[in-house]
Each structure stands twice: as structure tokens, then as C-alpha cells.
Chains A and B, each alone.
Chain A
């Protein structure tokens, strides 16, 4: 009995001490961590739409999207994040689309763990620049050969799965958002 109490109290004491230490560290650093995440989002956003000076959050039937507004308070377009399954793990994308939901202004990868050297190339300019100005009124297509239509992009050689995943995640989200936005206007 005495032994049991000793074991329990030592373990409990160590755990409490450690939680205090962690709470202290987190209290000191949480502002920086949250700020860094915001900065990263902001940086990606301004790479996609350098003219936006104001961002307004907009709730579309439960989906959070961002209205991008320029100096003269004109609507430049919308930004949204999209997450879906990649080759190894989930991929999170940030995309900016024009105000009419017709052309993409660009796509950035916020989070991915695709194969280094192969699938990880979805984060590179060569691949992502293809999405700049692409027409999304019909679903984007991912080809292994050279592209002919304005809604087509070329997959990365030997990383077709990751390339297709990006396109699929994007298409689904755009379709979803478009349907929800239409519903809202008619309501």
C-alpha cells in the first residue's frame, strides 16, 4: 500500500511539474507561433495577389473564404484553402480566383508531404505557374502530354499521382464553392 502511494505520487508530481513547464513555455511563445502561421498565410496570399491590401473573411454555407480587396476598395477576387489526399498525406492548397469565379490567379501549396525529389515538385514554380490565369469554368484537366486547351495543365514527369491530386483537390473545392455561392445568391 505504501509502495503504491509512493509510485502514484512520484508519477503525478513529475507530470504536474512538466505540465507547468510546458504551460510556461507555451505562454511565452504562443504569440510568435500564431504570428508565424499568419505571416506564412499572408506571404503566400500576397505572392498570389500582390495588389490586395485588405482581406475580409466570408462565410459561404460553412466554408470560410477570403475576399481580397485593393486600394480603391474594389473586389479583386477570392482566396480559399482546399485540402485533400495526396500521394502520401493530405495536401493543403491556397488558391486565388477572380471575382467572377472564372479564372484562377494562382495556387500555392501550404502543406504537403509528397515524396522529396518527385511529388514534392508540386511546390515548385514550374508546376504551380501553370495555374496562373487558367480557366476553371470547366474542370481543370491534368495531362501527361503537352497541353492544348486553356483548362489543361501538364503533370510533373514521374509524379503524376501528386499532380493529379492537386488538380482534383482544386476542382472539387471550386465546384463545391460555386454551388454554394449560387445557392446563396438565389436565396
Chain B
């Protein structure tokens, strides 16, 4: 249970470990993009962690990174093809960022730091926790940016008609601003919690 929860909050991959910044900043222009990116990462990380944990005793130490990369790349390509086959709109919107999951350091990081040293069961639980943490992080970040930049979330208009879209929120600068504020907020909550205990 602890393995699952740590990815969701205490060791949150985006807000605590600051991993996977490339997709975090790039695809979070709309809530839907963040959501699908999260789904892709859940699939890739869970299966990669499972396979890596399964073969951890067979793979020689010298080539482990190469082997992990091949495994991760395989699952990422499967996701990429599936997006193009079943949700072509999303495939177009996420564009090159789906193939780029291969170099997302959350995935290689969890494979190397956790799955290669732990049992299959706890590796899958760790992967689910981390990727769900990544997903909610992306979704929150993307929702805030879409709300302020386009006045809507998931395409539903929420802001009053007089709302002036803050275009900067959709641009890269907005991603950094919102991410910074969220990381700060997360740190503040942790500080308060620490003081209490």
C-alpha cells in the first residue's frame, strides 16, 4: 500500500521529484491532452515495470539500460499505434510527444530504481502509483492552463463571457508559471504537515 501511495503524493514524480518535465510542460495546453498523456504513461510504466521485474535476474548488469530502453520503446510504440488507430484526434494533438515517452525519465527511473530490485507485485503497484500520480499532476496542470488560457476545461466553457483569455497560460511560459506555483503549494502543504507532527 505504501508503495502505491508514495507516487500519488509523498514522492510525486512531477511535483516532488521533478521528473518527466518535457511532457509535463509541453502537452498540458488542454486538459484532454494531459489526460491522454497520463493514460499513455500508466500503460507504458505498468507493463515496462512488470517485464523489467520479471527478467531482472536474467539481464546482465552491463546491458540492463539498453534492455530496459528496448522494452520501454516497444510499449511506447504500441501506445502510439493504438492512439493512431482508435483516437486519431488525440494522435494528432499529442504528435511527437507520444514517441517521446521513451525518454521520459519517470519510466526509466522507476525501472532502474525500483522494478529491477523488487518483486513483480510491488513493481506493478509502484508503477501504478507513480503513473497515476503523474496523471493527476498533468491533469491539474493542464486544467488550470486551459481554464485561464481558454476559459474552459475539457472543452466545456466555465469562465463568464467577459473573461479575457490569458494567452500566456497556453504558451510555454504559462506552463512554467503554473508548475512553479503547484510545486510551491505542494512544498507548503508538506511543511505545514511536518510542523504538526
B58 at the interface (CB under 8 A from A): yes
Interface size class of B (residues with CB under 8 A): 20 to 34
Find A22's partner among B29, B55, B78 (CB 8 Å cutoff): B78
In the bound complex, residues from chain B placing their C-beta under 8 Å from that of A6 are 60
Interface residues in B55-75 by Cβ distance below 8 A to A read 55, 58-60, 62-63, 66-67, 70-71, 73-74
Closest approach, in angstroms, between the C-beta of B174 and any C-beta of chain A? 9
Fill in one digit per residue for B68-103: 1 if any A CB lies within 8 Å of its CB, else 0.
001101100110011011101000100100000000
Q: How far is the CA of A99 from the CA of B150 in the complex (A)?
A: 40
- Report if A64 contacts B (CB, 8 A): no
Task: Please pick, from A14, A29, A40, A113, the residue contacting B85 in the complex, using a CB distance under 8 A.
Answer: A29
One of A76-84, A100-108, A114-122, A141-149 at the interface: A114-122
Q: Which residue in chain A gives the minimum CB-CB distance to B55? A: A14
Residues of B with C-beta under 8 A to A18: 70-71, 73-74
* A18 to B, closest residue via Cβ: B74
- Can you list, as one digit per residue, whether each of A1-42 has a CB less than 8 Å from chain B (1) or not (0)? 001001100110011001001100110010011001101100
In the complex, chain B residues whose CB is within 8 Å of the CB of A37: 88
Residues of B within 8 A of A (CB): 29, 55, 58-60, 62-63, 66-67, 70-71, 73-74, 77-78, 81-82, 84-86, 88, 92, 95, 149-150, 165, 167, 170-171
